[in-house]
Structure 1
């Protein structure tokens, strides 16, 4: 009799054992956000014959199954296959360039069985796995290892950038910076790494407060750019090893000045018109609100109209009358702000903060550097996308076309986020060595 009563309990343990150490709070929170995202997508399409909300939930359900499967697989196996992962990542990005589908001025999708797949989204996972494998033994504490990691990052980043997909290339940069910092890279090196980009922005864009900029030898010499280049020269002299005769400082200063000249060149010859318009609108709030600034202006109006408590689900006038373009994708946060108000926005951001804290906890408690770096890579990806997406909807960041994780409609992005979640859950699940059966 006692044996019969114990059988169901034993069977229950048998089925649950593969996920015994999974962080269920981390797993459940994205599922809740995905469900809520589907509801908000439905609200934006309530008066239209569109079923994106249904697809959102369907792809999320598939993502949950993938995440559960990955959580029970040992993440260490990814290290053995990281070169194949790296090769497949680059191959998929090359295929997009050769046989991809174009839309909105970019060639980013591959059509498979009638569905558009965006390889650059999955490339984020490939980059995280590759960097974690490169840095788990050879940390970024030395310049050779630091540049080695950057060298392998350069190819997929360049392939994404030339699609062109500036938003995803920025996400790549955030992942690399986060993982290099976690791998003991000198923080000064990370600042120097992005310093030419900052110099390009300061030199290459006509800021309203310093316009017109002084032009000398085709380089727009803004005072902020000169101060920045000088500061980076001092930082290079202090952190880089070639300090004799000030070589490190001078070379860093020259690099930033060249970055400024490249910024002018990129502004005039590389950036698309819509990309320049987005930066101009960000720097000049209220400029061209019926053209390039229309999306962001309408989003800010919708969020402001929600006030403290919001209009209520399916009751936001801006959302229901479709005044905010692309609201079901990049601007989904504006629907939350209008229909649930300031309180609803805070609750959603609180949930995202919990997700990030759980990711950080797993990174700190992982049993090896490889698992820790995987978790930090995913954390860097989520945090950057969250900050930029919310920032652009409220006017604190330029419109970049970066989706809000698990909230915005996008099948490739949804699957990527759940794959990343499954990998991190595997790190949590195998924090302690278990017996093989």
Structure 2
């Protein structure tokens, strides 16, 4: 128990308490929204959601403090093989009877462990190790040149391997997209030249063109086409835009639009409080931003995004003051993770991005998501605790 007390003392002395305060503020706002978004359920179900989320936040704070005490560079250096095996193994568990998912989407993204109070999402947990391993790999490659073809192929191959692993084991292409966006942010921060990003975009576009005829009739492909039709105003697909593949996003923008500037009032949202399952779907998970828009209006949405922006900017601030390139890559990786999920989730709710099942960090309901986010921010706090003092940092830049 002394090690835990020592961890708390070290955190109180040098940990990033401001970042923790930002995370708690966002999580508290999330709890307020989850309470409203679950009132339409049976009382026991709504109470369970609040209890799970509250316990996850408390556990997340403890994990944040513990991760702050870990020398993450030393840990990654000594344990990179175990970290890779963890990422591989926990995703492969989805092939076992423990794997479960949603029949309507075809995803198999969760582990239902007997006796465990909540399901776990392997790809969510593996994001932590992915950032650590990619940062470790980039740090080793930067000495010979991060933009050399062999260096780019190695880090891109690592990312594509994880994307393929998630696609094969769970079919969760939305989570796989997050990994790609994390890679893009880390590669950009690491100094990979712009021409490689252009080449990557061209290759991705070519791949989509080649495989599209074979997947265009799939449900997840229709989620992309319905957004394009909505943005371009295609009159031939209005029914599909509003009643089929675009149903969820149609209800979302109606909720956000009806909130106006200041919202309908807390616990007063028409769709949020409706007991009909045909109203706003996934309102406590994927579409919680729409709940905020309906009940708190534009003002509430801006406040929510402001809180999340503070967390992202704090990660970038820590990255700029990190004691090494590897630590800077890690902090930027977790900033990229947050930026990707916030951008995609809000885009989903505003009907400018396909529904891919990504939750809003610190806000949406989800035990594994909350704990993962606090753990990631704890690692950022660890980097801040071990950053160079200003006078030494200035000398190092001469």
TM-score of the superposition, structure 2-length normalised? Answer: 0.86
| 1:116-265 correspondence runs (5 A) | 116-139=119-142, 140-162=146-168, 163-201=170-208, 260-265=209-214
Give the number of the structure with larger relative contact order, counting CA–CA contacts within 8 Å between residues 6 or more apart: 2
3-state SS, counterpart of residue 405 of structure 1 = coil
Give the CA deviation at 1:412.
Answer: 1.5
Deviations, residues 122-159 of structure 1 (Å, cap 9, x unaligned) = 11111101101111131222111111122223322211
Deviation digits for residues 201-228 of structure 1, max 9, x if unmatched? 5xxxxxxxxxxxxxxxxxxxxxxxxxxx
Determine the C-alpha separation between the residues in 2 that align with 1:402 and 1:67: 22
State how far apart, in whole Å, the 2-side matches of 1:80 and 1:351 are.
35
Partner of 2:395: none
1:55 is aligned to 52
Hey, what's the Cα distance between the residues in 1 that align with 2:52 and 2:198? Answer: 41
1:368 paired to 2:324: yes
Partners of 2:10 and 2:69 within 8 A in 1: no
Shift of 1:395: 1.1
- Alignment RMSD: 2.0
Residues 264/197 of structure 1: CA separation in 2 closer, same or farther (3 Å cut): farther
2:76 corresponds to: 78
Aligned-partner Cα distance in 2 for 1:82–1:143: 24
Asked if the contact 1:118/1:412 (under 8 Å) is kept, the reply is yes
On the 8 A contact 1:44/1:335 being kept in 2, the answer is: yes
Distance in 1, Cα, partners of 2:262 & 2:211:
47
Match of residue 36, structure 2, among 34, 37, 43: 43
Please, which runs of 5 or more residues in structure 2 have no aligned partner?
231-237, 390-398
Distance 1:196 1:287 in 2: 33
In the aligned structure 2, how far is the partner of 1:348 from the partner of 1:14?
Answer: 31
Within a 5 Å distance, the mapping from 1:373-384 to structure 2 comes to 373-384=329-340
Whether 1:97 and 2:95 are equivalent positions in the alignment is: yes
Once the two structures are superposed, what CA deviation does each residue of 1:387-434 show, in whole Å capped at 9, x if it has no partner? Answer: 11011101121111110001111112111111111111100111148x
Assess if the C-alpha contact under 8 Å between 1:141 and 1:183 holds in 2. Answer: no
How many angstroms does 1:199 deviate by? Answer: 3.7
By how many angstroms is 1:287 displaced? 4.1
Post-superposition shift, 1:63? 0.7
- Check the 8 A contact 2:29/2:363 in 1, yes or no: yes
Deviations 1:344-400 (Å, cap 9, x if unpaired)?
111111111111111111111000011101101101110010011011101121111
Please give the per-residue CA displacement for 1:241-268, whole angstroms capped at 9, x wherever unaligned: xxxxxxxxxxxxxxxxxxx223333435
Q: 1:284 is paired with a residue of what secondary structure?
A: helix
Aligned residues: 360
How far apart, in 2, do the equivalents of 1:161 and 1:93 lie? 10
- Over 3 Å counting, the alpha-carbon distance change for 1:13 and 1:158 in structure 2 is closer
Distance 1:19 1:314, change over 3 A: same
State the SS of the aligned residue for 1:101: strand
1:30 to 23, 43, 53: 23
Equivalent position SS for 1:419: helix
Q: Is the 8 A contact 1:83 1:130 kept in 2?
A: no
Unpaired segments ≥5 residues, structure 1 = 1-11, 202-259
Whole-angstrom CA distance in 1 between matches of 2:253 and 2:11: 46
Aligned to 2:249: 296
* SS of corresponding position for 2:381: helix
Deviations along 1:37-73, one digit per CA (max 9) or x if unpaired, are 1111110122422221221111111011101111122
In the alignment, what sits opposite 1:349? Answer: 305
C-alpha separation in 2, matches of 1:137 and 1:200? 30
Q: Which position in structure 1 is the counterpart of 2:260? A: 307
Deviation of 1:91 (Å): 1.3
Alignment of 1:353-432 (within 5 A): 353-432=309-388
CA distance in 2, matches of 1:46, 1:108: 26
- In the TM superposition, what is the alpha-carbon distance from 1:75 to its structure 2 partner? 1.5
Equivalent-residue separation in structure 1 for 2:379 and 2:239 (angstroms): 44
Give the superposition deviation at 1:195.
2.1
Q: Give the aligned partner of residue 277 of structure 1.
A: 222
Contact 2:121–2:368 (8 Å) recurs in 1? yes
